[in-house]
Amino acid sequence: MPIQNVKGTHDIIGAEADVYENIENLLKHIATVFAFKQVRPPVLEHSEVFVRGVGESSDVVRKEMYTFEDKGGRSLTLRPEFTAGIIRLMVQNKILSNNELPYKAFYLGPVFRYERPQLGRYRQFNQFGVESVGHDSPVNDLEVIVLAYVILQSLGLENVTIKINTLGDEESRDNYRGALKEYFASHLEKMCPDCHSRYELNPLRILDCKVPEDQEIVKGAPKMSNFLSTASKERFAFMLKSLDELQIPYEVDEGLVRGLDYYSETVFEFHYTSKTGNNYGAIGAGGHYDKLVKELGGPDLPGVGFSFGIERLVSVLSDDGLVNIEEDEGVAFYVMPLGIKSQVEALNIANVIRMLGYATDMCFDDVKLSSMFKRAEKKHARYAIILGENEINNNEVIIKDLSTQQQTTIPMDILEDRCIDLMSQEHQCDCGCEHDGDEHEHHHDGECCCGHHHK
Ligand code: HAM
C-alpha cells in the first residue's frame, strides 16, 4: 500500500490551492490597509514559549502540543498557535522598545495541534491572524475587531455571529476563580478526571468542559459578571457601546472563556453555520491579553489579536458557494519538439517565451504531432510552437494559432517580437474602446472590460 499522509493533515492541490491563496491574499491585503506589518516567526519554538505563554492549564499545552527533544536535548514544539511566538519575536527583537506603539503585526502559516480529527478540525491547519501590541486603550481592541469584521464582510460572510465576553482584569479573575473553586468543590466528585486537574490548575477551564453531565453542573456556576472590578466593568461597557456606534453586531456570551490562558478583559469568537447546516466551530477567535508580554520576558505591556482558521474559512465559503474556483486559464504557448534531439532547443525556446511573462509548457515525450496537439488542447494552449530538425537547421520555428488553425514559419530571431504581437492582439478588441494592449483587462469568464467576449 502506498504511504498515506499523516492523520489529521490534508493535501491542498491545484484549484483548491488557488482558493487558499486568493483568500490569504485578501486577508493580507486588508491587514496591510489597516497598517499591520507582516512577521514570519519560525514554526519551531522552545517549548517554554507555549508552556509559559499559552499556559499550563490549557488543553493545548496539556494535551495537544507536538513536542519533542531535538538531537541537542532541547525541548522544542511545533507551534500550536501564533500569539506566544509572535510576542517572543517582538521581545527578542526589541520591537516594542524601538517602535511607536501599538506595534501591529499580521501573520499566516501552519499550526499543529494533536486533536481528534473531525469536521473542521485538523492536526495541521493554517491560521491567519494579527496582534496589536503595546497600547492599553480599548480602542485598540476595537480596531482589531473591526478588522476581523471587515475581513468577514469582504469574504461575503454576512451572517457571522460575533460572540463577545469579558474575563476582567487580574483582580476580577482572582475573585472569580475563588468563587468557582468554592462552587465546584461540592460537585467535583461527580465530574470527569480532566475537571479534577482543571480544578487544581485553573477552575475557569472547567467552564469549557464538553462532558454533558459536567455541562449541567457548569450551568449552575457563578457568573463572571458578578466578579468584575469597576475598571473592567467600565471597559467592557465602553466596548459594547462603541461596537453599537460602529454598527458591528454582537452577542454577549457569558460562557465564553476561551481555551488559552493568556486572555484578560475582552474576548471574542466568530461563529458561522453554513447554509448547508455544517457547523465547523469558530472560524476565528481572539482577545485582549495583559500579562503575556511580561511573562515572555518583555516589558509590562498589553496586546490584543485574533486568528482565523483558514481551513474553516474555505469550508464555509465553499459550502455557501462563495468560492470562485477559477477556470484553468491554461498556457499561452505549447512547444512541440519533433524528435528527442529537438527537446533541449524546445526547452530553450520555452524559456525565452517564459521570460516575456507568458505561461509556456512543452511536450517531454517523443510522440506523434497529432498526439502533441491533443496535449496542447488539454492544456488550453493558445499557440503551438513546432520545432523539428529542419526548423532548427534553418533557424526557424512554426507558430500555429490553435483557434484559427493558421500557421506560419518565422525566423527564430523574431520569435520574441512575434509572441509579444500575438499576445497583445489577444487583448485588443473591435469594440472601439480606448483601452489597448495590457490595459485591456480580461476577466476569468472571458469577458473583457469593454463587455465583449474574446477568446
Ligand atoms: P484559537 O481559538 O485556539 O485561538 O484558534 C483560532 C482559530 O483557529 C479557531 O477559531 C479556528 O478557526 C482555528 N482552529 C483551531 N483549532 C483548529 C483545528 N484543529 N483545525 C482547524 N482549525 C482550527 C488562537 O489560536 C489564538 N492565538 C487567537 C488569538 C490571537 N488570540 C489573541 N491573538
Residue 429 lies in a domain: no
Single-letter residue type at 313: L
CATH assignment at residue 100: 3.30.930.10
R_g over Cα of the chain: 29
My answer on whether 289 and 380 are in the same domain is no
Residue 149 lies in a domain: yes
Q: Region 200-212: what's the mean pLDDT?
A: 91
At a CB cut-off of 8 Å and minimum separation 6, what does 62 contact? 56, 197
Check residue 276 and give its pLDDT: 86
My answer on whether 103 and 245 are in the same domain is yes
My answer on whether 38 and 131 are in the same domain is yes
- What atom in ligand 1 is closest to the CA of residue 284? 10
Dmax (CA) for the chain in angstroms is 95
C-alpha 449/C-alpha 306 separation (Å) is: 38
- pLDDT (tens digit, 9 = 90+) per residue, 408-431? 999 999 999 999 999 998 755 555
132 pocket-lining for ligand 1 (C-beta < 6 Å): no
Residue 373 lies in a domain: yes
C-alpha 320/C-alpha 283 separation (Å) is: 14
Indicate whether 450 pLDDT > 60: no
My answer on whether 254 and 375 are in the same domain is no
My answer on whether 341 and 311 are in the same domain is no
Of 81, 116, 121, the residue nearest 283 (C-alpha)? 121
My answer on whether 163 and 309 are in the same domain is yes
Check residue 427 and give its pLDDT: 59
Check residue 129 and give its pLDDT: 98
My answer on whether 118 and 32 are in the same domain is yes
Residue 259 lies in a domain: yes
Of 307, 311, 312, 315, the one to substitute when testing ligand 1's pocket (max ligand atoms within 8 A of C-beta) is 307
Cα 219 to Cα 175, 209, 216, 223, 250: the distances in Å are 19, 11, 5, 9, 22
311 pocket-lining for ligand 1 (C-beta < 6 Å): yes
Residue 190 lies in a domain: no
Residue 438 lies in a domain: no
Residue 175 lies in a domain: no
The domain of 40 spans: 14-169+229-319
Give me ligand 1 centre to Cα 165, in Å. Answer: 17
The H or E element containing residue 384 is: strand 383-387
- Among 269, 286, 319, the domain-final residue is 319
Indicate whether 446 pLDDT > 50: no
- Among 319, 350, 377, the domain-final residue is 319
Say how many C-beta atoms besides its own lie within 10 A of residue 277's C-beta: 7
CATH assignment at residue 413: 3.40.50.800
80 pocket-lining for ligand 1 (C-beta < 6 Å): no
My answer on whether 132 and 75 are in the same domain is yes
pLDDT above 70 coverage of the chain, percent: 94
- What atom in ligand 1 is closest to the CA of residue 280? 12
My answer on whether 288 and 344 are in the same domain is no
3-state secondary structure of 336: strand
Q: Region 255-281: what's the mean pLDDT?
A: 92
193: preceding bond cis by omega (within 30 degrees): no
Of 7, 81, 89, 163, the one to substitute when testing ligand 1's pocket (max ligand atoms within 8 A of C-beta) is 81
Give me ligand 1 centre to Cα 262, in Å. Answer: 14
| Number of domain units in the chain | 2
My answer on whether 299 and 348 are in the same domain is no
Indicate whether 45 pLDDT > 70: yes
- Among 270, 286, 319, the domain-final residue is 319
> What is the strand order of the sheet 396-401 is part of?
360-362, 333-337, 383-387, 396-401, 407-411
Indicate whether 186 pLDDT > 80: yes
Q: Could you tell me the three cell numbers for 440?
A: 485591456
Residue 50 lies in a domain: yes
Cα 16 to Cα 159, 257, 278, 314: the distances in Å are 24, 34, 19, 9
Among 31-40, 278-287, 429-438, the least confident range:
429-438
Mean pLDDT, the chain, integer: 92
My answer on whether 369 and 410 are in the same domain is yes
- pLDDT (tens digit, 9 = 90+) per residue, 126-176? 999 999 999 999 999 999 999 999 999 999 998 899 999 999 999 999 999
287 pocket-lining for ligand 1 (C-beta < 6 Å): yes
Among 189-193, 314-318, 372-376, 444-448, the least confident range:
444-448
C-alpha 4/C-alpha 332 separation (Å) is: 35
Q: Region 184-196: what's the mean pLDDT?
A: 94
My answer on whether 249 and 127 are in the same domain is yes
